[in-house]
Structure 1
């Protein structure tokens, strides 16, 4: 049975989900990191904002502006509001070693240089922009993604622009096909770079 995100009747909600990551190939365990694909992270952020915006406006009748907070953590217990990690009791397996996150970004902006365990972003957005899933959604996503990417030493998220455009060159494989199709359908401008 799939878990549904916690949604409230006042329009608020939470979207929590793991983002797939791959380990780098460093032989030294102390230097290893988990690599997140920047385009996948931005895709998940766009999806979450559109879903939560639609819930608030279309299901709950909420209007106006909303406050959005995004937390990216290396594991659930690293979140500032998460319960403390359970202590392993005798006979229980020890938790696996944790590795910090690093962002792998393609396209016109340079890749990240830092690894981190927690990144946070927050912004205010127009609810209609999020729920309409168009140009305004991409603008809000860009603002939030840029803040998250700063924690990794990246000045700007390549997949989206502050002007609300999709940068095709920053998306890879099936995600590029999916995002350009979505952008065409919703009237979101695209740039080659």
Structure 2
């Protein structure tokens, strides 16, 4: 159940469950570490009186009802920025953690799941910080059940994190959250097909080969779309990926590149963590037995497939707060209309068959691999979102499973890429 967040891990310098005292203490006066929708600070833990219990329950519920988050206890803040180390007494940690579990279990409904990590001062192990990590919950909405300390017009007591503050869900928000809870066990396979079909419908007319990767979570996440989050996501997508434009669609973000390029990119990132990415594959024309055809280099296809898997999974985990398993489908087609869910054939010529081959080390000569052309091939796999988003060995394994099935449709036994696999086994995350 460990909470994972690429943004927070980059900010904090490591996984939440592995942070050191120094890493936490060095957040003081770091403006980038200001409180946000997934990060909060408390100078002390006061969960013994009604006000303290209500505040703690509100904090963990607000994270669970949104994308998850981390509460660091033992740091004071000024205008949201950590300002001073205020160490906690960690002498009787077990008793403190039992008290926390009792308060959170009795003051939230359904009880919020969380992990607690004491971070001790190496110079004085009796002092330190306490970190509470709360993943996004599939059992939401979670309510604060303690009696309100102050009279409030808010009859509903379902908090949710919004930016650096906590808001209360409206009746409509609560009804929507309950609806999601009871329908999230619906057929994810159908959701996968719906996401795939929607992305194909957004493509411009083309008769060139495409690689399509679609994934959807077993348990949906939630990526709120508003002015603040859209600008943040837009900058991140353009900076990290191959896209030039990002716009808002129906419950999704749509990113595209220049339509005039051969390797046109079209990506749809949905609020629930689902995503579809269609990539134009760089191809070359060749002639065999008097017939012209397009061919793509097998290494280019595998590299593109792995990058698409990693970045779609990162969207699901880091923007929509998804945890658990993703259902993933990869497809290769010689043109969009060759896909079973694709558009009609455009009035474009010429239309060439498609093969997977290899280019020699100098990029000048084709090394035949395919024994046959193939208009459409697909493959599916289920994988943990963290394994895909972390960019390590498990990502390579998932890529290999999908790539092998895809190239077998062209008569190729497997899509081996030993250099990338060796890099992943060595613990390298930059596999490009």
With the length of structure 2 as denominator, give the TM-score of the two structures. 0.35
Bigger RCO of structures 1 and 2 (CA < 8 A, at least 6 apart): 1
Q: Counterparts of 1:165 and 1:17 in 2: how far apart (Å)?
A: 23
3-state secondary structure, aligned to 1:34: strand
Paired residue for 2:128? none
3-state secondary structure, aligned to 1:14: strand
Contact 1:142 1:160 in 2 (8 A): no
Moved over 3 A (4+): none
Q: 1:112 Cα shift? A: 2.1
Where does 1:20-59 land on structure 2 (aligned, <5 Å)? 20-26=282-288, 28=290, 31-59=291-319
Paired residue for 1:116? 374
Q: Counterparts of 1:139 and 1:148 in 2: how far apart (Å)?
A: 14
Q: 1:27 Cα shift? A: 7.0
Paired residue for 2:354? 101
Deviations 1:95-123 (A, max 9, x none): 2121111111479xx82211111111111
Q: Counterparts of 2:337 and 2:380 in 1: how far apart (Å)?
A: 20
Contact 1:116 1:152 in 2 (8 A): yes
Q: Counterparts of 2:302 and 2:288 in 1: how far apart (Å)?
A: 26
Q: Counterparts of 2:312 and 2:267 in 1: how far apart (Å)?
A: 9
Number of residue pairs matched by the alignment: 161
Larger Rg belongs to = 2
Q: Give 2:337's match in structure 1, choosing from 59, 71, 77.
A: 77
Paired residue for 1:165? 421
Q: 1:187 Cα shift? A: 8.1
Paired residue for 1:149? 407
Q: Counterparts of 1:61 and 1:148 in 2: how far apart (Å)?
A: 30
Contact 2:354 2:374 in 1 (8 A): yes
Q: Give 2:275's match in structure 1, choosing from 4, 10, 13.
A: 13
Paired residue for 2:226? none
Contact 1:106 1:158 in 2 (8 A): no
Q: Counterparts of 1:44 and 1:72 in 2: how far apart (Å)?
A: 12
Contact 1:38 1:159 in 2 (8 A): no
Q: Counterparts of 1:26 and 1:95 in 2: how far apart (Å)?
A: 23
Q: Counterparts of 1:32 and 1:187 in 2: how far apart (Å)?
A: 37
Contact 2:393 2:427 in 1 (8 A): no
With the length of structure 1 as denominator, give the TM-score of the two structures. 0.75
Where does 1:86-97 land on structure 2 (aligned, <5 Å)? 86=346, 94-97=347-350
Deviations 1:28-52 (A, max 9, x none): 2xx2221110000001101100000
By percentage of residues, which structure has more strand? 2
Contact 2:392 2:428 in 1 (8 A): no
Q: Counterparts of 1:72 and 1:63 in 2: how far apart (Å)?
A: 28
26 and 187 in structure 1: CA distance in 2 versus 1, 3 angstrom threshold: closer
Larger CA deviation: 75-84 vs 1-10: 1-10
3-state secondary structure, aligned to 1:25: strand
3-state secondary structure, aligned to 1:165: helix
3-state secondary structure, aligned to 2:275: coil
Q: 1:56 Cα shift? A: 0.3
Contact 1:68 1:124 in 2 (8 A): yes
Contact 1:74 1:118 in 2 (8 A): yes
Unaligned regions of 5+ residues in structure 2, if any?
Answer: 1-243, 246-255, 257-265, 361-367
